[in-house]
Amino acid sequence: DGGITQSPKYLFRKEGQNVTLSCEQNLNHDAMYWYRQDPGQGLRLIYYSQIVNDFQKGDIAEGYSVSREKKESFPLTVTSAQKNPTAFYLCASRGSNQPQHFGDGTRLSIL
């Protein structure tokens, strides 16, 4: 089945560590997005990519990094510079003139 796969579902980070969240899609979508979700705040855009080898910062990019080497993949790295990383992270992709489709999310917690 076509869809978006985020892994792992749960992730724990120690202080000072970088961690990478995986997002893979087999929908042949050009655009991909990362959002952070905190209780009572809705979703906020971290980074997005409209084409391979290109990406832009969203509203809350500080402390995060991404790459887009393949159309199918858009991994997000939460660096040690992100002081409050505990959140639910959602990846989405979008085809031409279509709404965004979302993965099932990764919940990141600090040990």
Partner 1 sequence: AQSVTQPDIHITVSEGASLELRCNYSYGATPYLFWYVQSPGQGLQLLLKYFSGDTLVQGIKGFEAEFKRSQSSFNLRKPSVHWSDAAEYFCAVAAFNDYKLSFGAGTTVTVRA
Residues forming contacts to partner 1 in the complex (CB under 8 A) are: 4, 6, 31, 33, 40-45, 48, 50, 58, 90, 92, 94, 99-105, 107
- Shortest Å, Cβ 80 to partner 1: 26
Q: Whose Cβ is closer to partner 1: residue 16's or residue 39's?
A: 39
Judge residue 93's burial from the number of C-beta atoms within 10 Å of its C-beta, 0-12 exposed, 13-18 middle, 19 or more buried: buried
Q: Whose Cβ is closer to partner 1: residue 8's or residue 18's?
A: 8
Q: Whose Cβ is closer to partner 1: residue 9's or residue 14's?
A: 9
Q: Which parts of 10-100 are beta strand (E)?
A: 10-13, 19-25, 31-37, 43-51, 54-57, 64-66, 76-78, 87-94
